[in-house]
Structure 1
């Protein structure tokens, strides 16, 4: 049986930001939903407003991959069932709520170092904010051409 959109979002919230507390998990959920709702660029073209297309887009979320660089990934959405807090945040995000300090961020990552100004490194995202260990990036004008 396939997971519902709610279940998928709750699982990726736990996997991608489970150790980042309520604010960190809401920030990741906001970013994912920004990808679903963006009206232009790569995520609009590929996702077409469908969260499943966004989550399953190749190379986007490590938690959606069973292997990384040929090695089994122990931290996946399939091996980490969500808790009630993850469902609550998924419901919050699916209802249209968002963290406003995230802006319109379409990307986040944990650099294990200071946040670089641009990410991805092709110049389509510029630094917005750091929340706990994750850096968040808003689309640049260059993103619209993707």
Structure 2
């Protein structure tokens, strides 16, 4: 059962986003990127107070995803991308992105302990993940 509202267009958008952001990190990397996106829709805090849909989250400006500015994002979603997007929309969560609202590629071997005041929750392949503290009231 879905943990956020969605329509078919938004499934395709999320599928294209997770491919563009994390295809190089394999299926789990794409699921982690999807977790971050779904978490942003669910969070209602910090930079994501008025984000209520996948489309708003994906095209949020400022603060959205860099991939939406690249031509690779605008390729059609593949079936595997759609299946992965559906999994995170339906609530599957994966460590280290379980509660993460941000991730980035540091282009080196280390992740910062904090990124814009948010704590590192771990790394998977090329991406470092960051989540708010419980005190920030995001969940």
Q: TM-score, normalised by structure 1?
A: 0.79
In the alignment, what sits opposite 2:86? Answer: 91
Aligned-pair distance for 1:106? 0.2
Residues matched between the structures, number? 129
RMSD: 2.1
Q: Answer 1 or 2: higher relative contact order, Cα 8 Å, separation at least 6.
A: 2
Within-5 A mapping of 1:1-146: 4-43=9-48, 45-47=49-51, 49-59=52-62, 60-65=64-69, 73-75=70-72, 77-78=73-74, 80-113=75-108, 114-120=110-116, 123=117, 125-140=118-133
Question: Hey, what's the Cα distance between the residues in 2 that align with 1:8 and 1:35?
Answer: 15
Residue aligned with 2:50, SS: helix
What's the TM-score, normalizing by structure 2? 0.83
Runs ≥4 residues deviating over 3 A? 140-145
Larger radius of gyration: 1
Distance 1:87 1:102 in 2: 19
Aligned match of 1:69? none
Structure 2: runs of 5+ lacking an equivalent: 1-7
Asked if the contact 2:105/2:126 (under 8 Å) is kept, the reply is yes
Closer, same or farther in 2 for the Cα pair 1:74/1:4, shift >3 Å? closer
Question: Which position in structure 1 is the counterpart of 2:5?
Answer: none
